[in-house]
């Protein structure tokens, strides 16, 4: 049996992180009537978390395996 590649493990970890970031308990923490720069806090959280996941995915995919 082949040893799993490091890139595949990192992608699986990012998938798990995405599942945690966009699951009920964390979303409920940010579901308040407060605003940030005129935008609801929940929308800001979702877009920041989404952008963070995209940036991390880009780093993992573009990085050369050691």
Residue 1 lies in a domain: no
Least confident of 10-14, 23-27, 61-65: 61-65
| Residue-wise pLDDT tens digits, 25-46 | 999 999 999 999 999 999 999 9
- pLDDT > 70: what percent of the chain? 91
Residue 19 lies in a domain: yes
Bridge-based pairing of strands 39-40 and 35-36 is antiparallel
Q: Cα(18)–Cα(35) distance, rounded to whole angstroms?
A: 23
Q: Measured at the alpha carbon of residue 41, what is the angle toward residues 33 and 32, in degrees to the nearest 5?
A: 30
How many domains does the chain contain in total?
1
Residue 32 lies in a domain: yes
Residue 26 lies in a domain: yes
Query: Residue 11: its pLDDT value, please?
Result: 95
User: Helices 6-21 and 41-62: crossing angle, nearest 10°?
Assistant: 180
Query: Residue 1: its pLDDT value, please?
Result: 44
CA distances from 55 to 28, 35, 40, 49, 50 (A): 24, 25, 23, 10, 9
**What residues make up the domain containing 24?**
6-62
């Amino acid at each position: 049996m082949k040893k799993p590649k490091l890139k595949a493990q990192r992608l699986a970890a990012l998938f798990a992180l995405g599942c945690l970031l966009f699951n009920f308990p964390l979303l409920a923490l940010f579901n308040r009537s407060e605003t940030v720069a005129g935008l609801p806090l929940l929308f800001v959280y979702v877009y920041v978390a989404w952008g963070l996941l995209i940036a991390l995915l880009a780093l993992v995919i573009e990085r050369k395996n050691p």
